[in-house]
Structure 1
């Protein structure tokens, strides 16, 4: 068997480069003749190499880097008839996909060692189709005013502060959030109305938060569609607080929360609606999202993956607790 490690040499403060020999040895010990490819600044470097390796008959492709590198590798193989297994070694900022697969996020060697468990899961993959292209995504599709913060947060700030950078930028943008007339079709109905944003989620982790989709499953062929039906700053802050308090936002009247295998989304008035796929610009609406059920076999820490997160007892770390306190202070001031 052959494995190809596609790694971003600049991810994780160049820790990947320094640990590469140990990582290659782990896959060799697992029975793979292993080689490596360092991505370059050229567009689609990881994507092109993943496609080449898959077509060359490699049995395993390891995506080592941030969520962007993982997304590129998926886009390189998702459209092929023969798709090799995938493994990931997370070295980015939020590492949403690693969170969902319960891959160690702070130890590159330990992440590679998951191969030794010989556990895999057949993962759902999303496909977004508009007039210009088909693009695959592994975690989240979204559109609306708040999703623009993903483009605006400088990469240097992301790498230093992680999702605190999103907090800061999001708080700055909240006063500018507006409602957009949206038309969204899903399996069991149609939404026609005003919304500030919508999410199409494949996993439970978005932007480092693991409570946005508290009942997610990785292989059921269903997206979780979340439509936020308000642009009021106080109401949005309250929704964030409910989310951080155990996924209770899904019970709010300001949220439409549905399971669906397909989604068609566009603005209702013909205005431009940019689509965000795994944190990157993915073209403009109208867009059709299709869930490709159990499309890629992924090395995972399967025994640690829950069927659903218990929304009654979700761990909230110190950063999130501080954010909750700040939300409470803001909302108290604005309601006086």
Structure 2
């Protein structure tokens, strides 16, 4: 008997590309021997329920089709289940950081073929309080910007919208005082933001956590210390090249657990979605999900000149 798959898709993601591609995707999966039925998400939280329902109905495979938001909800639906189906990803959203980190192609035909090759890799899942993330958990003034970018602007400009908004807002952003408890001990810092990365591709930066591995049982904690606009731009520019780790304003710790408390009001961001507020306890569920990925198991992705670096003249003006 062939395997049964449940395709959970966001009909509005990626300029509605999914809606147009659906017949072709279903045909390709069926031809490859995967009997596939669908669930179109109707709003926030729906993909969580759909993933739980797929487990209850005994599907062998769950496929998340959309952007990082859809994927995060599917992860949250699967994470608590004693039996977790294998997970396929069709990256058809505006942001597809996790798929990029896994080397899953944007082309839907190639992404379907990757699932049909049946090669899976075990990956870690992060847990923050009672929610789960697959790629990144963060907090601080800068992470709050991601909620303020209008969705239409986000679709048109993609990641660049975040940076533009970030530069515009930076002078008014306040650092936060945090107490952090990690495997290395306790530290107190005044920071602009903290990021706990499960993969190396975060917010469109493909080398933000260059050594992050998806199945080492650890998270890569990056702290951006209190800095001014010129320092921030220097760090962002360096981060585009992956040269930011030696910057004095960056602190980097590899850890399996993180407790964060603060006297400030701090919102959390999980895979680009709102994740509550501090305090938080972050932990890792090692090798918790089986994800369809390339046979090589490479979590690297070679990119072209996709990033919009900050023009040198603007950099000089800001540093004056």
TM (norm. structure 2) is 0.95
Identify the residue that residue 55 of structure 1 maps to in structure 2: 56
Match of residue 139, structure 1, among 105, 126, 135: 135
Identify the residue that residue 264 of structure 1 maps to in structure 2: 259
**1:31-50 correspondence runs (5 A):** 31-41=33-43, 43-50=44-51
**Deviation string for 1:236-255 (max 9, x for gaps)?**
1111111112x111111111
Distance in 1 separating the partners of 2:219 and 2:257: 8
1:251 is aligned to 2:251: no
Match of residue 293, structure 2, among 266, 289, 300: 300
Distance in 2 separating the partners of 1:244 and 1:283: 28
Identify the residue that residue 278 of structure 1 maps to in structure 2: 271
Identify the residue that residue 123 of structure 2 maps to in structure 1: 123
Conservation of the 8 A alpha-carbon contact between 1:128 and 1:135: yes
Distance in 2 separating the partners of 1:45 and 1:299: 23
How many residues of Structure 1 are paired with residues of Structure 2 in the alignment? 318
SS at match of 1:58: coil
- Using the TM superposition, give the Cα deviation of residue 318 of structure 1 relative to its aligned residue in structure 2, in angstroms: 5.6
Distance in 2 separating the partners of 1:54 and 1:167: 39
- Using the TM superposition, give the Cα deviation of residue 316 of structure 1 relative to its aligned residue in structure 2, in angstroms: 6.0
Distance in 1 separating the partners of 2:229 and 2:15: 36
Distance in 2 separating the partners of 1:30 and 1:124: 28
Distance in 2 separating the partners of 1:62 and 1:275: 26
**Deviation string for 1:71-90 (max 9, x for gaps)?**
11110010111100000101
1:324 is aligned to 2:317: no
Which shows bigger deviation, 115-124 or 198-207? 115-124
SS at match of 2:296: helix
Distance in 1 separating the partners of 2:101 and 2:295: 10
**Deviation string for 1:290-310 (max 9, x for gaps)?**
11111110011242624x68x
Alignment RMSD, CA only? Answer: 1.7
Q: Any stretches of 5+ residues in structure 1 without a counterpart?
A: none
Identify the residue that residue 110 of structure 2 maps to in structure 1: 110
TM (norm. structure 1) is 0.90
- Using the TM superposition, give the Cα deviation of residue 109 of structure 1 relative to its aligned residue in structure 2, in angstroms: 2.2
Distance in 2 separating the partners of 1:172 and 1:263: 31
Distance in 1 separating the partners of 2:102 and 2:22: 22
SS at match of 1:205: coil
- Using the TM superposition, give the Cα deviation of residue 315 of structure 1 relative to its aligned residue in structure 2, in angstroms: 5.3
- Using the TM superposition, give the Cα deviation of residue 231 of structure 1 relative to its aligned residue in structure 2, in angstroms: 2.8
Q: CA 1:316–1:192 in 2, change beyond 3 Å: closer, same or farther?
A: farther
Identify the residue that residue 75 of structure 2 maps to in structure 1: 74
- Using the TM superposition, give the Cα deviation of residue 329 of structure 1 relative to its aligned residue in structure 2, in angstroms: 2.7
